[in-house]
Amino acid sequence: MKFRHFTLDEFDSPDAPGSGSNMQRDFVEMLDEARERAGVPFIINSGYRTVKRNQAVGGVSNSSHLRGYAADIACTESRERFHIIRALLSVGFDRIGVGSTFIHVDNDPNKADDVIWHYYP
């Protein structure tokens, strides 16, 4: 798979080199388009996760990361956060979580649409 702004290894689980290839193609294509529209880099903190990695970071047992439908984008600045979220919404993402240092985005077909949540410290 070839993308404008990403390589699949950016989505690797740290304990499984090459696992970024487990990402859902439509998810990465949408994220790539959002990156283009946002005009700011998307640094991926977490993409695909193995079960072991998901447990280590405290992820929920049905995490969208386990099936390649999710990514966490590094973000600590308010203006950058605005541009990223606006771009994610503009390409059709409708599941967004906001943390103090990251933005979670997914398009998991098995989860509710039209939700934005925040992570408590």
Question: Could you read off the pLDDT tens digit of each residue along the chain, which spans 121 residues?
Answer: 689 999 999 999 999 999 999 999 999 999 999 999 999 999 999 999 999 999 999 999 999 999 999 999 999 999 999 999 999 999 999 999 999 999 999 999 999 999 999 998 7
As a whole number of angstroms, the distance between CA 106 and CA 87 comes to: 14
Nearest to 69 by CA among 10, 119, 22: 22
Is the Cβ–Cβ distance between 13 and 48 less than 8 Å? yes
Domain coordinates in residue numbering, the chain = 8-36+45-118
Written out in words, the top-level CATH class of the domain with range 8-36+45-118 is alpha beta
Residue 13, strand partner residues: 16
* Prediction pTM value: 0.95
Is the Cβ–Cβ distance between 103 and 75 less than 8 Å? yes
Place of tokens 């798979």: 1
